[in-house]
Amino acid sequence: MKANTLAAIRKMILLLVVLACHPAIPGAQPRLPLQRLGYRDLGYLHFSQIPADGSYITSLTATPDGQVYGATSGFRSYLFVFSPKTDQVKPLGYLPGCEGVHHSMAAGRDGSLFLGGGQNVIQPFPIARRSGGGLNWVSEDLWQQVENRYRGYAGGHLYRYEPAPPGQAWQGDKPAKVEDLGIPVPGDGIYCLAMDPEREVLYGISYPHGHFFLYEAKNKAIKDLGTIFREILFGGPDIRTLRSLPRNLAVDRNGCVYASGDEGRILRYCPQTQQVQTLEAAIPGTGIRVIEAWVVSGEVIYGGTSDGYLFRFHPASQNLENLGKPLVEPRIRGLTLGRNGDLFGLGGERFGVNTFFRYDPASSTFEIMGSIEVDRSPYYARRAHQFDAMATAADGTIFMGESDRGGHLFFFIP
C-alpha cells in the first residue's frame, strides 16, 4: 500500500475520532453556569430509595415553607419531598394501586397536598395491526386500543396528604400515609389537577374520556360535570397513548378555570356561572393544539403548547398573544415563574435532549440556556434528557423533575 494512501487512512481515522468526541448537537449543549445547577437523588447520595422503574417524575409542587413535593409514574407511583433544611429528597412512600400521578398535584391553603392517581400514561404501548378501514381508521384504532387498556379499571383515586412533622422516619418502599378521597370518575384515571385555594375547590380532567370534575374540600363532595371534549385525536408515537386532552389547568384570581379544548379553543369554567364555556381565543399551533403547561402571573396567564409555542392570555379581555416558538422541537414540557417575573421552561420531544429556556416579559425576548447537565468531575456527572414537571421554590430556586428511568430532582439557582 502506498505511503500517501496510508497517510489518508490515518487522517480519516483521526477525523472520525475527533467527530466522535465532539458534541453532535451544539444547540443542545449546556450554557448554564455549572455552579448554579445541581441534582439530588431520590433518597441518599448516589442511592435512590425509589426503584428505577417507578421514579419517572411527573408532578411537582412547591409550598410556602420552602419544601418541594413530587410524585412519580411507573410500575408504581411514589411520593417524595425535598427539604432545603436537610438538602435531601425524602421518600414518603407509594400510593397503593396507583401507577402514576400525572400533572396532578396541588397544595391547599392549609398546607395539605392533593394528588390525583391513575395509570402510567407516559409509557407507550405497542400499536396493534390495522383492524379497521375508512378515512379515520388510525385514530379509531388507537382510540379502541386505549379504551381496551381501561376495561375493568376501577378508576384513579384522589388522595390528600398531610405533611408530617420534621424528623419522621423515611417511608421508602412502604405505603404512603394518605387519605383516600374516592374516585372522581369511575373507569378513568386523573390526568391533571389545579387548586383554587381561596375557595378550597380542586379541579381536574380525567383520562381517557376527558371528564371535567371538581372536589369541594369543605364538604368533601365530588362533582363530575361529564365530558367536555368531542374530538378524539392522536399526535404520533410520542403521545400515542394520549387523547388530545389538556395536560394542565389554570385557576385565575377570580377562581375561573382554564383548559384547552377541541380545535385548540380555550375552555373556561367559572364558579359564579357553574358552566363550561368555549371562548373565541385559540392557542397557537398547526397540528394538534393542546395545552402542556399553564403559569398564572398576576392578571395574565402564560401557556405552553404541544407544538412548542408560548403564549400570553388575558382573562379580562380574552385577548391571546402568540409570543413565539423558543425551540425547533415541539412540546413545552414544563413552565414555571421565577421570583423576578421571568418565565422558565423546558421543551423538546421524548427520548431527545430537552432544552432549558427563559422568557423575559420586560424585553419580550427568549434566552436558550441549553441542556440540563451537572458536572462535578471527577466525583460525578449527569446529563438529563427527559422532563415533565417544574416548580419554583420559595427562595426562587427552579426545580425540574426528570421523567426518565432512575429519575432525579434537578435544580437551577437563577
pLDDT in tens, the chain (414 residues): 445 554 554 545 444 433 344 333 334 455 667 778 899 999 888 888 899 999 999 999 999 999 999 999 999 999 999 999 999 999 999 999 999 999 999 999 888 999 999 999 988 777 777 666 655 666 777 888 888 889 999 999 999 999 877 666 666 678 999 999 999 999 999 999 999 999 999 999 999 999 999 999 999 999 999 999 888 777 766 666 677 899 999 999 999 999 999 999 999 999 999 999 999 999 999 888 999 999 999 999 999 999 999 999 999 999 999 999 999 988 999 999 999 999 999 999 887 889 999 999 999 999 999 999 998 888 888 889 999 999 999 999 999 999 999 999 999 999
Q: Could you state, in order of their start, the residue ranges of all structural domains in the chain?
A: 41-340
Q: Is the peptide bond before 361 cis (omega within 30 degrees of 0)?
A: no
User: What integer pLDDT is reported at residue 100 of this predicted model?
Assistant: 96
DSSP state of 24: S
- Its sign, for the CA torsion 406, 407, 409, 414, is positive
The phi, psi pair for 192, rounded to 5°, reads -160, 155
Pairing of strands 105-107, 113-116: antiparallel
User: What integer pLDDT is reported at residue 170 of this predicted model?
Assistant: 62
User: What integer pLDDT is reported at residue 18 of this predicted model?
Assistant: 39
Q: Which residue type does 325 have?
A: K
Return the CATH fold of 41-340: Methylamine Dehydrogenase; Chain H (2.130.10)
Distance CA 141, CA 131 (A): 7
Containing 145, the helix (H) or strand (E) segment is helix 137-149
Whole-structure pTM value: 0.89
